[in-house]
Amino acid sequence: MEDGRRIELLGKAGEKLGAPPSERTIGFHLTRYLGMKKGRAEKGVIRVGTYGALFERLHGIFLPWAGPGTSIDSINAAWWESWYTFCAGKVAEQDNDESNSGFTLFWASSRTGDGASCGRIDFG
């Protein structure tokens, strides 16, 4: 069976088990968002490095925290507060660890940059 059909069938099985439809998940919208940003980088609208950093942060930090199969309908103020608490905790953990300051830099850049990395993300 080809992969596309397997994914479709697994999605339908998940819906029957109470999972959200795939187009209503964080993973779906994050993939769509990163695809749009990749296209902008390929056209020279944004730097490739900017896209790479965004991909690394959203795909490597945000998505594992949020869960790719999480329904976008579950996003509310308490959910965002939990994300903030997670980010603040990572910053606190690494403030004194000079060998691993990547998250602190990530947090700082999201506060002064485009705000998408550790702030609110528009899922449509």
58-113 tens-digit pLDDT: 999 999 999 999 999 999 999 999 999 998 888 888 776 666 555 554 544 454 44
Q: Specify the pTM.
A: 0.63
Using DSSP, state whether 71 is helix, strand or coil. Answer: strand
| Measured distance between the N- and C-terminal CA atoms of the chain, rounded to whole angstroms | 32
Q: What is the Cα gyration radius of the chain?
A: 16
Domain ranges within the chain, ordered by starting residue? 23-112
Cβ count within 10 A of residue 106: 23
Kindly report, residue by residue over 7-52, the tens digit of the pLDDT. 565 555 555 556 778 889 999 999 999 999 999 999 999 999 999 9
Across 84-102, b (16+ Cβ under 10 Å) vs e yields eeebeebbeebeeeeeeee
